[in-house]
Amino acid sequence: MENKKAPAIDRITGIVLFIGLMTAAIIGMTFHEPWFDEIQAYLIARDASLHDLFFSIPHYEGHPPLWHLLLLPAKLGLSCRTTLWIAQIVTYAGMLAMLELFSPFGWKMKLFLSSSYFLVYQYGVISRPYAMLMLAALLVAEIYPDRDKKTVRYLLAMLFMCLCHSYGIAIAGGLAATDLIRRFIQEKSIPGLIKSTGKKLLIAYGALLAAAMLIIIEISPQGNAYGMNDSHIIYFLVSLFLCWSMLPSETFLTSFINDNIKLQNAELSHYELLISYIFSVIVWYVLIRICKKRKILFEFITIYAFLSVLMALYSMPHHFGVFMIFTVMFLWIAQKKEPLSVSELTAPFEKSDNFRKIMKYVVRLITAIAVTINLYWNIHCFSTDYKEMYDVGSRTAEWIKENDLEDKKILAGWNMYTTKMLTYGSVSTNAYLDHNLFMNADRDLSYCTHVVTTDDEYDEDIKRLKSMGSPEVILTSSISIEDEVEALDLKDKYVLCYRKANVRTFKDTSVNVYTVIYVRKDLAGNVKKDAE
């Protein structure tokens, strides 16, 4: 697979970047405290049954269980950080090896891509299946031009991509569909399509379709899943529009949407919208020019249409890197067809030699700005992880143990329209204990089930919690516990004894989300206070 004909500078740059980025990821993971998304996957792997892992949980998590399967060493007693570290470092190393050591890109393109905030921090430090998804996408890109000859390898790479994430299903389905549509258009008949495609590839596409349908059935959301109760058609259409008009800019250049809200709920000023639209147009211009010249524009636009529909449903800003994965995959395919160059971007301006030179400088300037911005985002996130705690779950669990509160009745605050969605901090605290800590956890499970209750179920839960008597400890992400006190009609007094900030960093911003613990007044005197 290694590109032996690549110039020495390309190979050397790739090796240096591989070593540098792996080192940065290991250092970053050493200081990074796993947060909800990471810990949720760990707890599912540790505590869920294999039956639930395959047949129940995917309906609420929204992606296939492959990532959870990689975390199964948790069942052997490995700690949260060790389990996540192993899975992350293996998948990230595979992704980096493909990009830096085996890709067809020259050294300049490798440097540009390797500065990406999503590639360096989000996919290097934070343990989620996206590095694995990018690895799968790059494997597909490598085999794609030879899919007629390397059919089995192509099928396996596409299946791998489907198993990584629901986004992978959209990309793989789009690739297969556009390939068949293009062949049909060229041959102008079904028999011609069949002859052009060949028996092996047709069988492979049939197998891919069957596998994709099974995976879709496995991950199709239940009616009471949180993701199904948090959208509206108008918001979806707005989000779909932003996927085309704003998301490219937010992936590579701008930082107007923080990581605490879905894309469809973003509130942006006219200035922010205008700037992001301009940069998105530039990104689209570059990608369209590259794809059009190599006759893969139909595939590029069609597949992104598949992908954007899915992203519009539940995309959070930390999902935006999927656009980068998709883009790099197509740049890889384009590079294998014909080497990329700056001159092809300035070709429309060749009638004026001076203007063409100016446009070359503009392209290089925008590239330099993008690299600088992404490096700044990476430095900010790495330094914040070093100085602050991304999540205080480990510290919270330690405080609870030190004060002998493990066996007390501990209530977790909840989302006020569903008692099953516990407050920020509850799941991350459970990761550092060997059992669920909270009296109101759904079915006494340590992880979040993402189940939304009906009004009747909510009332029944409240009655059940009231019958258990007043809790001795209340953990919440709010400074106030008035909602919990009112809902359960609590008569006891509670004292704030613990408060720590979870410093969530994203690009150039940091947001504090607190974990707060109240202890019942009659027990508070025996507890060591630790409130920042």
Mean pLDDT of the region 526-530: 93
Question: pTM for the whole thing?
Answer: 0.94
Mean pLDDT of the region 249-269: 85
Q: Is 59 within a domain?
A: no
Q: Is 235 within a domain?
A: yes
pLDDT at 479 over 50: yes
Geometric angle at alpha carbon 187, from 183 and 188, rounded to 5°: 110
Token duo for residue 31: 């200081």
**DSSP-derived secondary structure for 450-510:** -BPPPHHHHHHHHHHHHHT---SEEEESSS--HHHHHHHT--S-EEEEEEEEEEEEETTEE
Mean pLDDT of the region 47-52: 95
Give the domain extent around 251: 227-340
Q: What's the confidence (pLDDT) of residue 124?
A: 96
Token duo for residue 128: 């989620």
Q: Which residues of 486-508 are buried (b: 16+ CB within 10 A; e: fewer)?
A: ebbebeeebbbbbbbebbbbbbe
Q: What's the confidence (pLDDT) of residue 343?
A: 83
Are 410 and 469 in contact by the 8 Å Cβ rule? The answer is no
Mean pLDDT of the region 152-167: 97
Residues 109-150: tens digit of each pLDDT: 999 999 999 999 999 999 999 999 999 999 999 999 999 999
pLDDT at 159 over 70: yes
> Do 506 and 404 sit in the same domain of this protein?
yes
Mean pLDDT of the region 198-205: 94
Q: Is 496 within a domain?
A: yes
Rounded Cα distance, 499 and 480, in Å: 12
Residues 439-472: tens digit of each pLDDT: 999 999 999 999 988 889 999 999 999 999 999 9
Rounded Cα distance, 14 and 1, in Å: 14
* Listed residue (185, 97, 108, 181) closest to 142, CA to CA: 97
Q: Is 142 within a domain?
A: no
Mean pLDDT of the region 213-238: 81
> Do 412 and 334 sit in the same domain of this protein?
no
How far does Cα 468 stand from its chain's mean position? Answer: 38
Rounded Cα distance, 134 and 323, in Å: 11
Q: What's the confidence (pLDDT) of residue 351?
A: 67
Which DSSP letter does residue 220 get? P
Q: Is 297 within a domain?
A: yes
Mean pLDDT of the region 7-25: 96
Mean pLDDT of the region 475-504: 92
Rounded Cα distance, 362 and 433, in Å: 55
pLDDT at 408 over 90: yes
> Do 336 and 249 sit in the same domain of this protein?
yes
pLDDT band at 4 (very low <50, low <70, confident <90, very high): low
Domain end point (choices 325, 340, 355): 340
Q: Is 231 within a domain?
A: yes
Where does residue 368 rank: exposed (0-12), middle (13-18), buried (19+ CB within 10 A)? exposed
pLDDT at 230 over 60: no
Domain end point (choices 270, 305, 340): 340
Mean pLDDT of the chain: 92
Residues 337-371: tens digit of each pLDDT: 999 988 888 777 766 667 777 888 888 899 999 99
Q: At what angle do helices 166-187 and 199-219 cross, to 10 degrees?
A: 150
> Do 334 and 406 sit in the same domain of this protein?
no
pLDDT at 56 over 50: yes
> Do 328 and 407 sit in the same domain of this protein?
no
Q: What's the confidence (pLDDT) of residue 379?
A: 97
Long-range Cβ pairs for the range 75-80 (8 Å, 24+): 75/45, 75/46, 80/34, 80/39, 80/42, 80/431, 80/432
pLDDT band at 2 (very low <50, low <70, confident <90, very high): very low
Token duo for residue 411: 């209530």
Q: Is 518 within a domain?
A: yes
> Do 408 and 503 sit in the same domain of this protein?
yes
Geometric angle at alpha carbon 318, from 512 and 208, rounded to 5°: 150
Percent of the chain with pLDDT over 70: 97
> Do 490 and 428 sit in the same domain of this protein?
yes
pLDDT at 231 over 90: no
Rounded Cα distance, 163 and 175, in Å: 16
Question: Where on the phi/psi map is residue 151: left (φ > 0), alpha (ψ -120 to 50), or beta?
Answer: alpha
Mean pLDDT of the region 378-397: 96
Residues 283-295: tens digit of each pLDDT: 999 999 999 999 9
Token duo for residue 40: 């949720």
Q: What's the confidence (pLDDT) of residue 413?
A: 92
> Do 401 and 509 sit in the same domain of this protein?
yes
> Do 401 and 514 sit in the same domain of this protein?
yes
Q: Is 98 within a domain?
A: no
Number of domains in the chain: 2
pLDDT at 407 over 70: yes
Domain end point (choices 298, 317, 340): 340
Q: What are the φ and ψ backbone dihedral angles of 394, each rounded to 5 degrees?
A: -65, -40
Long-range Cβ pairs for the range 188-197 (8 Å, 24+): none
Mean pLDDT of the region 195-224: 93
Mean pLDDT of the region 214-234: 80
How many other CB atoms are found less than 10 A from the CB of residue 444?
A: 10
pLDDT band at 323 (very low <50, low <70, confident <90, very high): very high
Q: What's the confidence (pLDDT) of residue 1?
A: 42
> Do 417 and 526 sit in the same domain of this protein?
yes
Rounded Cα distance, 426 and 421, in Å: 10
Percent of the chain with pLDDT over 90: 78
Amino acid making up residue 218: E
Residues 66-107: tens digit of each pLDDT: 999 999 999 999 999 999 999 999 999 999 999 999 999 999
Mean pLDDT of the region 242-258: 93
> Do 241 and 325 sit in the same domain of this protein?
yes
Are 201 and 192 in contact by the 8 Å Cβ rule? The answer is no
> Do 433 and 518 sit in the same domain of this protein?
yes
Does residue 483 or residue 330 have the better pLDDT? 330
How many other CB atoms are found less than 10 A from the CB of residue 19?
A: 12
Sheet with 473-476: strands ordered across: 410-412, 473-476, 509-520, 494-506, 530-531
